[in-house]
Each structure stands twice: as C-alpha cells, then as structure tokens.
C-alpha cells in the first residue's frame, strides 16, 4: 500500500494489487508477456488516470487552490477519476463536458456527480477551443487540469508507473494511447535497450506523435513506435469482432478490458505475435491502463465480466 500525502489529506492507492500477470498468449512464439494490472489499484481512480493526476493535484493543493476544473466527454475515465480524487481531498470539482446535456446522464457522469462534481455542458463546436472555455470560466482559486491530464505534470505522473515493475527485464513496453500523455511518461522512464510501442485508439490522429514527443525527453524519441491500424473504425467504435475478442480474452486470461483502449491494445498484441513482430526471447511489458468506463457505452450486462 502506498500512501500519498498531500498536505493534510491522504489518498490510499493499493499498489499491492498492482500485480504483474503473465499471459498464456505468446508462449507459442516463445515471447514472454507480462501485464501490469493498473486496473486493480483503485475501484474508481483506476489505472493510468491516478498516475496522470498525481502531480496536478499536488500542485493545486500545495498552491492553495480550492477548486479544480477539467474537461472530458460523457464517458471519460478522466472526469470520474478527477471527481473522485477531488472528493477525497475535499476540493470542489467542475467538469466541462463535451456536447449537449442528455437525459438520463451517462453512468459515467452520474458517477462524477455522485462525487460532487458540478457539470457544465459545452457544445461540440465550442468544446474545440479550450483556451476560450478556460478564459470565459476562470475564477479565482480555480485550478485547470488539461483534458485527459495531457501535459508535463501528467507525463511525469505516468512515468512513475514504471517504478512499480522490475523494469530492466523487459525488451518492450506497450500501451494504449489516447492523448499520448501516458506513453510520453513511459518513454521518459524507459531504459536505453527498450522499445516503447503505442496503440492509438483513434483513427488517423497524425498529430499524436508530435504531441507525445513534445512531452518527452529527446534522447528517447527514436524508441517510440506508434501503430495506427488498431482503432476498429475510430475512437470508441466497437464492432462485434472487438466485443467477441473481449469475451475470448476474458475466458483465456481472466483479464477484463474496455472497448475504447485496452481491448484494442491486447488485440494488437495478439496480432503482432501472430505476425512474428517480436523475436523469441523478447519480454514484453503490457500496461493495462485500467478504466472500464468506456464499457458504459454498452447496455448493462453485455460483457461476461
């Protein structure tokens, strides 16, 4: 159990549960695959969201802000994680949400509200301009966290994910990519002999690479490989083939995945193995980045886990 102490308030994150789970997958190719189960560290602030928020929260609290504002969609893990973390720290939170308000609210937003988050809905066209939203809604003592935790502090938090593993053993680190904040941190924390592979959850997000590199140390830039062909039609798109894979993967490995990020990640890992992308003897660390909020796109009980 690690206890992070921010001034007087304490958040407990159970890193005892952040276990490394070997997969059956890869045995045939003589490739070792270990999954870092960040999905298990906290029931709500699960996975990479906690790590990305750490240093923003610390900065806001240390500087005496009493309110935190951030951005996200109706199914955003980041929104719920921020709401929950602020609730635990007794800080007011405000979420600027993309799109019109729909009734009922998504389960994700209901959960954020249950942690006391105030929601403000922004039309899709206005949402594109975060600078204007920030300027129009800035009040004293309100600290802004960028969408998805994207930024230097977010990457610094994500880098600390690697402190929990025997890092030198691995030849490759592979993770899902949304805003690119997490993988920028992984890249910064990686060792010279390692390759870092990112599976983009979006279709044709070609600015992603420069966004990642702008948060990472130059000496690591050559080690990044971004793969753009595992989006299954686009962000949060989930054709039956993907949902079948999620069920199959659960049956074989007992690992739950979400339809936005980690299902596409593990599908890519399996596909790369089948294509002999890795060499026998390679040892791969797969980051299970947590957050099953994306499965709220489906009716309840659609998945076997």
Is 190 a binding residue for ligand PLP by CB under 6 A? The answer is no
CA-CA distance, 218 to 204, in Å (whole number)? Answer: 24
In terms of CB distance, is 26 or 198 closer to ligand PLP?
198
Q: Where does this chain touch ligand PLP (CB under 6 A) — which range of 44-52, 125-133, 225-233, 272-280? A: 44-52
Q: Where does this chain touch ligand PLP (CB under 6 A) — which range of 19-27, 127-135, 162-170, 284-292? A: 284-292
Query: Which of 161, 199, 290, 295: binder of ligand PLP (CB under 6 A)?
Result: 290
Is 36 a binding residue for ligand PLP by CB under 6 A? The answer is no
In terms of CB distance, is 86 or 265 closer to ligand PLP?
265
Residue pair 147/69 in contact by the 8 Å Cβ criterion: no
Q: How far is the CB of 201 from ligand PLP (least distance, A)?
A: 7
Is 220 a binding residue for ligand PLP by CB under 6 A? The answer is no
Report, in angstroms and rounded to the nearest whole number, the Rg of the chain calculated over CA atoms. 19
Count the neighbouring beta carbons within 10 Å of the beta carbon of residue 175. Answer: 25
Count the neighbouring beta carbons within 10 Å of the beta carbon of residue 191. Answer: 14
In terms of CB distance, is 42 or 49 closer to ligand PLP?
49
Question: Cis bond leading into 297, ω under 30°?
Answer: no
Residues 79-138 that bind ligand PLP (CB under 6 A): none
Is 272 a binding residue for ligand PLP by CB under 6 A? The answer is no
Query: Which of 108, 179, 194, 205: binder of ligand PLP (CB under 6 A)?
Result: 179
CA-CA distance, 130 to 146, in Å (whole number)? Answer: 9
Query: Which of 95, 151, 178, 189: binder of ligand PLP (CB under 6 A)?
Result: 178
Residue pair 116/87 in contact by the 8 Å Cβ criterion: yes
Element (H, E) at 58: helix 48-62
Q: Which residues of 201-218 are buried (b: 16+ CB within 10 A; e: fewer)?
A: bbeebeebbebbbebbee
In terms of CB distance, is 29 or 262 closer to ligand PLP?
262
Binding mask 232-251 for ligand PLP (x = CB under 6 A): --------------------
CA-CA distance, 99 to 126, in Å (whole number)? Answer: 9
**SS3 of 239, please?**
coil
Q: How far is the CB of 141 from ligand PLP (least distance, A)?
A: 27
Is 146 a binding residue for ligand PLP by CB under 6 A? The answer is no
Is 188 a binding residue for ligand PLP by CB under 6 A? The answer is no
Residue 42 C-beta-side C-alpha neighbours within 13 Å = 20
Is 48 a binding residue for ligand PLP by CB under 6 A? The answer is yes
Is 147 a binding residue for ligand PLP by CB under 6 A? The answer is no
**SS3 of 100, please?**
coil
Question: What are the phi and psi torsion angles at 230 (to 5°)?
Answer: -120, 35
Is 257 a binding residue for ligand PLP by CB under 6 A? The answer is no
Give percent helix, percent strand, percent coil of the chain, each to the nearest 5.
Answer: 40, 20, 40
Residue pair 269/172 in contact by the 8 Å Cβ criterion: no
Query: Which of 55, 261, 278, 297: binder of ligand PLP (CB under 6 A)?
Result: 261
How many residues touch ligand PLP under the rule CB under 6 A: the total is 20
Q: Where does this chain touch ligand PLP (CB under 6 A) — which range of 22-30, 163-171, 181-189, 219-227? A: 181-189
Give the tokens for residue 215: 């948060």
Query: Which of 82, 181, 194, 263: binder of ligand PLP (CB under 6 A)?
Result: 181
Binding site for ligand PLP (CB under 6 A): 47-49, 77-78, 148, 176-183, 258, 261-262, 289-291
């Amino acid at each position: 159990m690690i206890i992070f102490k921010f001034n007087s308030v304490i958040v407990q994150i159970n890193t005892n549960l952040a276990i490394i789970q070997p997969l059956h997958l890869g045995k045939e190719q003589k490739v070792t695959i270990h999954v870092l189960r960040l999905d298990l560290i906290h029931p709500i602030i699960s996975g990479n969201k906690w790590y990305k928020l750490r240093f923003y929260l610390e900065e806001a609290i240390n500087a005496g802000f009493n309110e935190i504002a951030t951005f996200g969609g109706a199914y955003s893990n980041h929104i719920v994680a921020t709401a929950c973390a602020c609730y635990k720290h007794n800080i007011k939170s405000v979420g600027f949400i993309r799109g019109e308000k729909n009734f009922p609210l998504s389960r994700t937003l209901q959960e954020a509200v249950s942690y006391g988050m105030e929601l403000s809905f922004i039309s899709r066209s206005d949402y594109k301009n975060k600078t204007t939203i920030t300027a129009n809604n800035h009040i004293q003592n309100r600290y802004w966290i960028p969408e998805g935790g994207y930024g230097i502090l977010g990457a610094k938090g994500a880098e600390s994910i690697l402190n929990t593993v025997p890092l030198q053993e691995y030849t490759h680190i592979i993770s899902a990519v949304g805003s690119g904040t997490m993988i920028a941190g992984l890249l910064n924390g990686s060792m010279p002999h390692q390759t870092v592979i990112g599976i983009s959850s979006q279709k044709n997000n070609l600015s992603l690479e420069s966004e990642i590199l702008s948060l990472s140390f130059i000496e690591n830039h050559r080690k990044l490989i971004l793969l753009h062909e595992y989006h299954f039609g686009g962000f949060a798109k989930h054709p039956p083939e993907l949902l079948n894979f999620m069920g199959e993967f659960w049956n074989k490995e007992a690992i739950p995945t979400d339809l936005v990020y980690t299902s596409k990640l593990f599908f890519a890992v399996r596909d790369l193995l089948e294509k002999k992308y890795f060499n026998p003897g390679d040892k791969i660390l797969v980051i299970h980045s947590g957050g099953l909020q994306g499965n709220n796109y489906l009716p309840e009980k659609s998945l076997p886990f």
